[in-house]
Amino acid sequence: MTSTTAARSPKRRFRFQGRYLLLIPLLLMTIFYLLPLYIMLVTGFKSFAEVSLQTMWNLPGGFSLENYIAAFEKLAPHLKNSLMMVIPAAIISSMVGSVNGFVLARWRFPGSNLVLPLLLFGMFIPYQSILIPLAVFMKNIGLAGSIPGLILVHVIYGIPITTLTFYGYYMTVPKELVEAARIDGAGMFGAYRHIFLPVSAPAFVVVIIWQFTSAWNDFLFAVILTGNENWPVTVALQNMAGSQIIAWNVQMAGSFLAAVPTLLVYIFLGRYFLRGLMAGALKG
Amino acid sequence: MITENASLKPAARRRLNLGKYAGFFLVLPSIIAVGIFVYGFIAWSVRVSLSQWKGLTPDYTFVGLKNYINLFSDPRFMVDIRNTVIFTLVFVLGSLTIGLTLAILLDQHLPGEAFFRSLFLFPMAISFIVTGVVWRWMLNPAITADRLSGFNLLFHNLGLDFLINQWHLTPIWGIAAVALAAIWQMSGYTMALYLGGLRAVPDELREAARVDGASELQVYRRIILPMLWPVTLSAVIILGHISLKVFDLIIAVAGKQLPLDVPAIYMWQTTFDGLFYGRGASIGILLLISVAVLIIPYLYYSLRSGGES
């Protein structure tokens, strides 16, 4: 025992020192990851006079809010659209996912094993393959161009991922607990309300964050299904960036504004966000 | 355990039979919704893709595979395929390399580990549109000395002038510059996948190898990396299907430029700007087929190995 420790200690000391060199690549990567954020923030704080592409990496001379104000004036209605769309979409999605996950994991029916894979396929399809029918259908039912229409679409195409997340979570609830409740005469709703719902908070957080982020960041559905005044912020930002009239520094400030809500969610609830991501990887 | 279950059965079964399908009715709305919005719409798209629909009014006159055949002699679609291949290779290989490297570095229990982990992941929270708008300016391809900006300016200031290039305006390989932005966004996610895999390697296994005299490098090469194959497979499939669908990132970096065209952009433009619905649908279906080739075996194996418990 003593001899092993003695033999290993020089090696361990070597490893100990060498390890810190590994911080160098990590710090270099840190710079790489922060560059776009740096450009967004710094450009936003420059005054109109100060902004030039040739000095884009320089720090601002002072804290001017001109760019942010200009960007906010342009984007405010669309930020509001995004919020109005994302909040209901995330809440409804999580409720649907919870019920589905409960049934498929712990209140199965003959054939229920087939349901999950059939639902999950919907998570991966390229939406280009359903876009034309979707646009026609939404128009036919009178929801094209509207925020409720977009909510519906996010809820439906969110079914696979939300179901999967809750399914995975509810699989950790012991089967025996459900069996016991059944013996005691609990029905499906009783079991859901008294056994599953009370322990579901973490899964709800994961799913709400996930749906909030993906609906907020969506561009494809929004650009096809909404008209100018109902544009969420991604479409408005892209439009702003595409126009020649709006200065690039305002675009940068606008990008930052569009990123703030999801960034905040990530900063404060990142742990859960990560868990949501992992669900997307199935068993990865 | 077994006897216990057997004794439960008669009582439990009576209830089960009563409400055997109760769960089904609870899931039914979702089954119907996905049935219509996924499977029904795919079938509908297939039908459009086999039709000559062009213009505002639907026209389902059957033309067989004409739209598909035309695509394969369409120079624009050939550019799309080339761009998708380049984008996928650069994006997937880049994300895997960076992701794995970062995960191994973070696995060394260095100070600040949690900070680095969150930092590398934050781009995941941002939309491709925001990423694209910012990268558009960082990739600004102006190369004359007085107009240098973005990365080119940064390289110039650091004395790395040989790195100055045209980025996304480079002929043929321009799409690789856009893939850089995608790597920025998704390599942290790849890192998280690998880190999960590394953390699942039992410590005893590493210790045992070290006691047997394996160097740290050997421990990784011989023991840990082979154990990460399933993670790599998942990552390739997830990243691969993202890159086949790539759309908003390219739109935000470069708009709709022909040299940087991909199937998703062609589909959008030809359908909603050009009103060639038949052609648009066939691009959508081709995309679906290419994704399905990746996804169906993946779903099959991951659900089969983890479904029952």
Residues A79 and A7 in one domain: no
Residues A86 and A117 in one domain: yes
Residue A17 in any domain: the answer is yes
Residues A178 and A237 in one domain: yes
What SS3 state is found at B223? Answer: helix
Residue A2 has pLDDT above 60, yes or no: no
Residues A160 and A73 in one domain: yes
Residue A63 in any domain: the answer is no
pLDDT score for B308 = 43
Tokens standing for B73?
């002699």
pLDDT score for B299 = 82
pLDDT score for A161 = 92
Q: Which residue has the higher pLDDT, A197 or A55?
A: A197
Question: What is the average pLDDT across A43-71?
Answer: 84
Residue A247 has pLDDT above 70, yes or no: yes
Q: What is the pLDDT of residues A133-142, one digit of tens each?
A: 999 999 999 9
Domains of chain A: total: 2
CB contact under 8 A, A284 and B231: yes
Residues A220 and A266 in one domain: yes
SS percent in chain B: helix, strand, coil, step 5: 80, 0, 20
pLDDT score for A187 = 86
Residue A274 in any domain: the answer is yes
Nearest to A241 among B11, B111, B252 (CB): B252
**Cα A21–chain centre separation:** 34
CB contact under 8 A, B129 and A219: yes
Residue B93 has pLDDT above 90, yes or no: yes
- pLDDT range class, residue B2, cuts 50, 70, 90: very low
Kindly state the percentage of chain A with pLDDT values over 90.
50
Residues A87 and A182 in one domain: yes
pLDDT score for B5 = 46
CB contact under 8 A, B12 and A108: no
CB contact under 8 A, A283 and B231: no
Nearest to A156 among B8, B37, B58 (CB): B37
Residues from chain A that touch B58, judged by Cβ atoms under 8 A, are 136
ipTM of the complex: 0.87
Tell me which of 1.10.1240.10, 1.10.390.10, 3.20.20.120, 1.10.3720.10 is the CATH number of domain B77-306. 1.10.3720.10
What SS3 state is found at B175? Answer: helix
Residues A102 and A226 in one domain: yes
Helix residue ranges per DSSP H, B158-173: none
Q: Which of A176-185, B5-14, B53-62, B146-155 has the highest average model confidence (pLDDT)?
A: B53-62
Residues from chain B that touch A220, judged by Cβ atoms under 8 A, are 247-248
Question: What is the average pLDDT across A195-213?
Answer: 90
Residue A31 in any domain: the answer is yes
- The domain that holds A84 is classified in CATH as 1.10.3720.10
pLDDT score for A7 = 43
Residue A176 neighbours by CB under 8 Å, 6+ apart = none
pLDDT score for A4 = 42
CB contact under 8 A, B291 and A273: no
Residues A28 and A91 in one domain: no
Q: What is the pLDDT of residues B228-287, one digit of tens each?
A: 988 898 899 889 989 999 999 999 998 888 899 999 999 999 999 999 999 999 999 999
Question: What is the average pLDDT across B4-12?
Answer: 49
pTM of structure: 0.88
CB contact under 8 A, A128 and B302: no
Residues A160 and A219 in one domain: yes
Residue A163 neighbours by CB under 8 Å, 6+ apart = A96, A97, A100, A101, A104, A116, A119, A120, B30
pLDDT score for B207 = 86
Nearest to B287 among A128, A241, A267 (CB): A128
Nearest to B127 among A40, A254, A258 (CB): A258
Q: Which of A166-170, A242-246, B166-170 has the highest average model confidence (pLDDT)?
A: A166-170
Residue A187 in any domain: the answer is yes
Residues A81 and A50 in one domain: no
Burial code of B198-222, b = ≥16 C-beta within 10 A, e = fewer?
Answer: beebeeeebeebeeeebeeeebbee
Residues from chain B that touch A57, judged by Cβ atoms under 8 A, are 153-154, 157
Q: What is the pLDDT of residues B197-228, one digit of tens each?
A: 888 888 888 888 888 888 888 888 888 888 89
Own/partner pairs, B80-83, CB within 8 angstroms, 24+ separation: B80/B261, B80/B262, B80/B263, B80/B265, B80/B266, B81/B263, B82/B172, B83/B175, B83/B260, B83/B261, B83/B262
Question: What is the average pLDDT across A214-237?
Answer: 92
Residues A80 and A126 in one domain: yes
Pick the residue of B5, B21, B34 with the most A CBs within 10 A to test the interface with A by mutation.
B34
Residue B15's Cβ-side half-sphere holds a number of Cα atoms within 13 Å equal to 16
CB contact under 8 A, A53 and B101: no
Q: What is the mean pLDDT of chain B?
A: 88
Residue A61 in any domain: the answer is no
Kindly state the percentage of chain A with pLDDT values over 70.
89
State the Cα–Cα distance between residues B170 and B177, nearest whole angstrom: 9
Nearest to B302 among A134, A182, A282 (CB): A282
Pick the residue of A17, A57, A130 with the most B CBs within 10 A to test the interface with B by mutation.
A130
CB contact under 8 A, B238 and A19: no
Domain limits for position A13: 2-55
